[in-house]
Structure 1
C-alpha cells in the first residue's frame, strides 16, 4: 500500500477477505487469460504455491498479495474481492481478526477497521498514540483528503508549514497528498478515528 501504503508501515497483517469466493474468482480470471499458475506467479511476483492455496481457499492472503494478483490479472481489487451474489451479509470481526499497523517509533497503532473492498478509495482506522508518539506519512495521490476526529487526548497535525492542535471532541480535515505528521502533544494517551479519502476531487 508500495506507494499505496498509507503510513510507511509494513502491511503484513492478514487481509480479512469478505468473500468466500476469492479463490474461485482468482482461478476464473486466471483461466480467462489462459494463464498457468506458473505464468501468473511470474507476472504477479506471488509464489505459485501461494496462488494455488488461494484458489483452494486454504489461506488468508495479505492485502499486498491481493493487490499484486489484481494488477497481474488487469482488474480492480474490488472485482477480485467481489462476491458472486448481492445477498445481504452481517459480519463481526474479533480483535484478533482486525489487522494492526504500528508506527516506526512503536508508539502509534492503527487498527484497520475499514472495509477491504473500499481500500483503493476509502480507508479508515482506529488510531491510538502514546505520549510523544509520532506518525509520519508520505503523500497519497493528488487531491486525497484525511479526516481526524479525536475521541481522547490531544493531537497535533502538521501539513506543510501549518500546525493545528486537535483536542477531544474536535476534528481536523486536511489534504494528505503531501507529507503530513500526527503527534501526541498531550500528557496522556490519545485516541482518534482517522478516515482517508484517496480519490477526492482535486482541490485548487
Structure 2
C-alpha cells in the first residue's frame, strides 16, 4: 500500500516529514556508495534522489521519506533491510511517538494512513492505521502479482472496489482482496471511518 512499491505505486503523498530512522542510515548509505565507487552525483543520477539530499542523509542532517530510502536501495542494488542494517548487536527496542509517525494522504486529502508497520518489512509486509472522512477515496494502482490486502474496519463503513465490483465492510468486519490490480477504497456513510490496513507483497500467486 505504501507509495513507490515495486510493481505498483499508490497515488498518495508523504506529508509527514517524520523521522523514520536513526543516524545509522547515513553511515550505511555512504559505505555502500563508496563500495560501488559511486560519487554523490552518480548515485543521484541512478536513484533520482537529489545530490544535496543524499549528502544530507549521509551526514544525518535530514529525515528521509520511505520513498527516498526505497529509491536509494534500488540504485545501490540492495534490499531496504540491508540499507537499514546496524553494525551493532545491541538489544533492539524501538518506540515511535505519534508526531514521528509518517503519514500518507490520499489525493483528496480526506484519508490519512499512518505508517505503523516496521520499515524493515516494507518490501513484503506493510500496515497502516487508516482514518477517513466521510466520502474520502483512496485510488490505488496495482501492486506486483500475487499481492493481497486486508482492510479491517474499526469504526464507520468502508467499501472496496475492484474491477467494477464493490464490497462493503462495517465495524468488526474485514475485507481481504487481491491488490495486484487497480483498486479503490472509500469511506461511505455519514460518519468518519477508521480501519487497519495490511498489505502482503510477494505473496503466493493466487489463480
Whether TM-score is above 0.5 comes out as: yes
Kindly state the Cα deviation for residue 33 of structure 1 after the two structures are TM-superposed: 1.2
Report the counterpart of residue 11 of structure 2 in structure 1.
8
Answer with 85-94 or 107-116: which moved more.
85-94
Report the counterpart of residue 25 of structure 2 in structure 1.
22
Cα deviation code 1:73-121 (max 9, x no counterpart) = 1111211111223432222222211111121222211111111111111
Report the counterpart of residue 158 of structure 1 in structure 2.
161
Q: 1:9–1:104: 8 Å Cα contact kept in structure 2?
A: yes
Answer with 94-103 or 143-152: which moved more.
94-103
Q: 1:41–1:51: 8 Å Cα contact kept in structure 2?
A: yes
Q: 2:15–2:103: 8 Å Cα contact kept in structure 1?
A: no
Unaligned runs of 5+ in 1: none
Q: How does 1:54-69 map to 2 (within 5 A)?
A: 54-69=57-72
Q: 1:12–1:62: 8 Å Cα contact kept in structure 2?
A: no
**Root-mean-square deviation (Å):** 1.9
| Correspondent of 1:47 among 50, 60, 74 | 50
**CA pair 135-39 structure 1, distance change in 2 beyond 3 A:** closer
Answer with 190-199 or 129-138: which moved more.
129-138
Paired residue secondary structure (2:44): helix
Cα deviation code 1:62-81 (max 9, x no counterpart) = 22222222122111121111
Q: 2:4–2:70: 8 Å Cα contact kept in structure 1?
A: no
Cα deviation code 1:155-175 (max 9, x no counterpart) = 112122322211111111110
Kindly state the Cα deviation for residue 186 of structure 1 after the two structures are TM-superposed: 2.1
| Correspondent of 1:97 among 100, 119, 139 | 100
Answer with 9-18 or 77-86: which moved more.
9-18
Q: How does 1:1-204 map to 2 (within 5 A)?
A: 1-2=3-4, 4=6, 6-14=9-17, 16-204=19-207
**CA pair 50-161 structure 1, distance change in 2 beyond 3 A:** closer
Kindly state the Cα deviation for residue 43 of structure 1 after the two structures are TM-superposed: 2.4
Partners of 2:20 and 2:112 in 1: how far apart? 22
Size of the aligned set, in residue pairs, is 204
**CA pair 15-74 structure 1, distance change in 2 beyond 3 A:** farther
Partners of 2:118 and 2:33 in 1: how far apart? 25
Kindly state the Cα deviation for residue 124 of structure 1 after the two structures are TM-superposed: 0.6
**CA pair 142-22 structure 1, distance change in 2 beyond 3 A:** same
Q: 1:98–1:113: 8 Å Cα contact kept in structure 2?
A: yes
